[in-house]
Amino acid sequence: MVRVIALSNPRLAQAFVDFMATRGITVEMQRIGHDAELWLADDSHLTDVEQQLELFLQDPLHPRYQEASWQAGKTDSTITYQRYSYLQRIRSQAGPLTLSVMVLCIVIYVLMQIIGDDNVMVWLAWPNSSQYFQVWRWFSHALLHFSMLHILFNLMWWWYLGGPLEKRLGTGKLLTITLISALLSGYGQSIFSGVYFGGLSGVVYALMGYVWLMGELAPQRGLNLPRGLMIFSILWLVGGYFDIFGLSIANAAHVVGLIIGLLMAFIDTRITRTLK
């Protein structure tokens, strides 16, 4: 069998299956999550199917396709739809590390609301001079968030960027970027503000830089951040330095994170080209 295409609308997919049936060609539909994959049983008909599919996609609502469904003895009622699930949507585009970090951030944020920010920061904040051997502190500061807007903004970007990266390049790559950017962005921020800071934004900016440059230099890796969003992130970074938003923003962490992400993407693409 040959996979022909995946369509997001099962109703239209079934119409094409029925139309090809009237031409004596068997195309099977398989449901994969919310999508419908079309498979051709006999690949000798592939050229004909591809030609008809091109015409179908240009005008899928043409009456001839509805008539084909009646001739094939099938109606729309045979198609069942799953209820849209936001949780399933989140899980489908994220790997185990992406989801684990999201859960950790939420749990810690709830704990901060219950026992207070200071009590949690005593254990998780960036180390002071007497705490350098408490290794977890070099990374755990990234899990701290101080407002609903803060955590929502960071987790949205973390899922949007980290999820696809983990799916395509693996958990190890996302873990490496996360640990390095958390460490170096935290160090950069500590120089300017001391140890009282937190948030995933340094890592998020590293992901922005990595995904954007990887999409520019190696689009075959399947990662992409639209240039408009990249420009927005730069403007947000610049606005933070001029206090345009009236928020307490970890500007140094953002800058260091962005530089780290760009450098890692550049190095990864150079290594890939060298190996080839």
Task: Specify whether 45 is catalytic.
Answer: no
Tell me the C-alpha distance between 274 and 276, whole Å: 5
Tell me the C-alpha distance between 142 and 127, whole Å: 13
State the catalytic residue, choosing from 69, 140, 190, 201. Answer: 201
Task: Specify whether 254 is catalytic.
Answer: yes
Largest Cα–Cα separation, the chain:
79
Tell me the C-alpha distance between 206 and 233, whole Å: 11
DSSP string, 84-150: P-HHHHHHHT--HHHHHHHHHHHHHHHHHHHH-HHHHHHHHSPP-TT-TT-TTHHHHGGG---SHHH
Q: Using DSSP, state whether 47 is helix, strand or coil.
A: helix
Integer-rounded Cα Rg, in Å, for the chain is 25
Tokens representing residue 90 in the block: 């989140």
State the catalytic residue, choosing from 45, 141, 145, 254. Answer: 254
Tell me the C-alpha distance between 63 and 241, whole Å: 59
Q: Using DSSP, state whether 201 is helix, strand or coil.
A: helix
Residue positions annotated with a catalytic role: 201, 254
